[in-house]
Chain A
Amino acid sequence: MALALQTFATVKDANTALRAQGTRYLGGGTLVVRAANEGDVSVSGLVRSTDPALSAIAVAGGKVRIGASVTMAAIARHPDLGALAKAARSVGGPAIRNMATVGGNLFAPAPYGDFTVALLALDATVGTEDGETPIGTFLAGRDGSRAIVTSVSCTLPKADSFRFLKVSRVKPKGVSVLSIAAILEQAADGTVSSARIALGCMADRPIRAKSAEKALLGKSLDQNGIAAALAAATEGIAPITDPIASAWYRAEVLPVHLGRLLLT
Chain B
Amino acid sequence: MAKVPVQFTLNGSEKAEFIDSGTTLLNALRDKVGDTSPKGGCHQGTCGACSVIIDGELRLSCLTLAETCNGTTITTTSGLSESGVLHPLQRAFLDTFATQCGFCTPGMIMAAKVLLDHTPNPSRDEVVEALSGNICRCTGYEPIIQAVLTAARANSQNAA
Task: Decide if A5 touches B67 in the complex (CB within 8 Å).
Answer: yes
Task: Decide if B128 touches A172 in the complex (CB within 8 Å).
Answer: yes
Task: Decide if A29 touches B65 in the complex (CB within 8 Å).
Answer: yes
Task: Decide if A93 touches B133 in the complex (CB within 8 Å).
Answer: yes
Total B residues in contact with A, Cβ cutoff 8 Å: 32
Task: Decide if B114 touches A2 in the complex (CB within 8 Å).
Answer: no
A residues near B59, Cβ cutoff 8 Å: 95, 98-99
A5 CB contact (under 8 Å) in B21, B114, B133: B21
Task: Decide if B22 touches A94 in the complex (CB within 8 Å).
Answer: no
B residues near A30, Cβ cutoff 8 Å: 45, 60, 63
Task: Decide if B63 touches A2 in the complex (CB within 8 Å).
Answer: no
Task: Decide if A95 touches B22 in the complex (CB within 8 Å).
Answer: no
Task: Decide if B24 touches A95 in the complex (CB within 8 Å).
Answer: no
Task: Decide if A4 touches B1 in the complex (CB within 8 Å).
Answer: yes
Task: Decide if B44 touches A93 in the complex (CB within 8 Å).
Answer: no
A172 CB contact (under 8 Å) in B1, B20, B63, B132: B132
Known A4-B1, A95-B60: A37·B21 in contact at CB below 8 Å: no
**A147 to B: closest C-beta gap in Å:** 22
Mask, B27-53, CB within 8 Å of A = 1, is 000000000000000011100100100
Known A94-B132, A173-B132: A37·B48 in contact at CB below 8 Å: no
Mask, A185-198, CB within 8 Å of B = 1, is 00000000000000
A residues near B128, Cβ cutoff 8 Å: 172
**A217 to B: closest C-beta gap in Å:** 38
Q: Report the contact-size class of chain A (Cβ under 8 Å from the partner).
A: 20 to 34
Confirm or deny: A46 has a beta carbon within 8 angstroms of a beta carbon on chain B. yes
Task: Decide if B129 touches A172 in the complex (CB within 8 Å).
Answer: yes
Expressed in whole angstroms, the Cα–Cα distance for A29 and B66 within the complex equals: 12
Task: Decide if A96 touches B129 in the complex (CB within 8 Å).
Answer: no
B residues near A98, Cβ cutoff 8 Å: 57-59
Task: Decide if B21 touches A3 in the complex (CB within 8 Å).
Answer: yes
**A45 to B: closest C-beta gap in Å:** 8
Confirm or deny: B130 has a beta carbon within 8 angstroms of a beta carbon on chain A. yes
Confirm or deny: A254 has a beta carbon within 8 angstroms of a beta carbon on chain B. no
B residues near A7, Cβ cutoff 8 Å: 67
**B153 to A: closest C-beta gap in Å:** 22
B residues near A5, Cβ cutoff 8 Å: 4, 21-22, 65, 67-68
Expressed in whole angstroms, the Cα–Cα distance for A37 and B46 within the complex equals: 13
Chain A to chain B contacts (Cβ below 8 Å), 7 pairs? A4-B1, A5-B22, A34-B45, A37-B62, A46-B22, A93-B48, A96-B133
Residues on B facing A (Cβ under 8 Å): 1-2, 4, 20-24, 43-45, 48, 51, 57-60, 62-65, 67-68, 111, 114, 128-134
- Beyond the given pairs A5-B65, A34-B63, 6 more chain A to chain B contacts, judged by CB atoms under 8 angstroms and listed by A's residue number, are A29-B63, A36-B22, A37-B62, A38-B43, A94-B58, A99-B60
